[in-house]
Amino acid sequence: MARSPPTREAQLARSVLTRNLEVKAGENVIVEGWSHTLPWAVALVREARRLGAHPILLYEDEAAFWDSVDAKEDEVLGAAPTHEWAALAKTNVYIHLWNVGDRIRMDALPPKRVAKLFGFNDKWYDAAHSAKLRGTRLDIGRPFPNLAEAYGIDLATWTQQVFEGAVVDPAELEKRGEPIAKALERGRTVRIHDEAGTDLTLRLSGGEAVRDFGRVTRADRASRFRILNFLPAGAVRIALDPRVADGTIRANRASF
């Protein structure tokens, strides 16, 4: 009897763990998932075991989180949990599938309250950086029903597009992206234009471009906030001269 083709979840897990994070046998892996990302998180745990690694799944239930928010348990939610820090100290690889799915509801909260709910964030990065771990934040955790509705896009189409972007070979991204990075490092200005009417010219301030081709590099791990990259990847960032900008930006969607 022929085997069924691998699911999208299994394909994503294999690509992320083998090509992006290059997980090795014996390494300790933490996968952080929420209700809407649990199938993806479970696949990552299963693939990590196939590779001989030792995974732990951290799970947060969406309804339970919002119940705590409604109960004004902000200090508890935003506290720095020492037992999680202890686990981080022994972790080689961390995979984050974003967090709460209902970004519309989160965006409606006062900014000061959101900061309190995620008050642990800076200490998390301190602990993760001290552990010298590497990891990724998977945008497959972003698609959510009411967010798709707010953006005016189909949820299934959005999810599929994020999946396809996340399984692109990082070697191919580097092959295509490195010439762009070098051009930006040599250039003095950059022009951004599209069919919607955006036509903007910016001046570059020089310096080295930050490359994100889907792997956490040695330079990334030296930087506190770059130990987790983003997938889909394929980005080049470079500093701009804030004094010079000319043109028009046209956009029709909010960002949550």
pLDDT at residue 214, rounded to an integer: 96
pLDDT at residue 224, rounded to an integer: 86
pLDDT tens digits, one per residue of 74-103: 999 999 899 999 999 999 999 999 999 999
pLDDT value at 235 more than 90? yes
pLDDT at residue 251, rounded to an integer: 83
d(CA 158, CA 27): 32
Q: How confident is the model at residue 2 (pLDDT cuts 50, 70, 90)?
A: low
pLDDT at residue 253, rounded to an integer: 72
Taking the CA atoms of 146, 61, 39 and 51 in sequence, report the sign of the dihedral they define.
positive
What are the helix and strand counts (H, E) for the chain? 12, 10
pLDDT at residue 1, rounded to an integer: 54
pLDDT value at 249 more than 60? yes
CA angle 72, 75, 80 (to 5 degrees): 145
Q: Tell me which of 223 and 164 has the higher pLDDT.
A: 164
pLDDT value at 256 more than 70? no
Mean residue pLDDT across the chain: 95
pLDDT tens digits, one per residue of 176-227: 999 999 999 999 999 999 998 999 999 998 889 999 999 999 888 888 889 9
pLDDT at residue 86, rounded to an integer: 96
pLDDT at residue 3, rounded to an integer: 72
pLDDT value at 134 more than 60? yes
**Does the bond joining 232 to the residue before it have cis omega, within 30 degrees of 0?**
yes
CA angle 256, 117, 255 (to 5 degrees): 5
Could you report how far apart the first and last alpha carbons of the chain are, in Å?
A: 46
pLDDT value at 22 more than 90? yes
**What percentage of the chain reaches a pLDDT higher than 90?**
88
pLDDT value at 161 more than 60? yes
Taking the model in full, what pTM does it have?
0.92
Core vs surface per residue 146-184: b (16+ CB within 10 A) or e: ebbeebeeeeeebbeebbeebbbebeebbeebeeebeeb
pLDDT at residue 49, rounded to an integer: 99
What CATH topology corresponds to 8-169+213-235?
A: Thermophilic metalloprotease-like (3.40.1830)
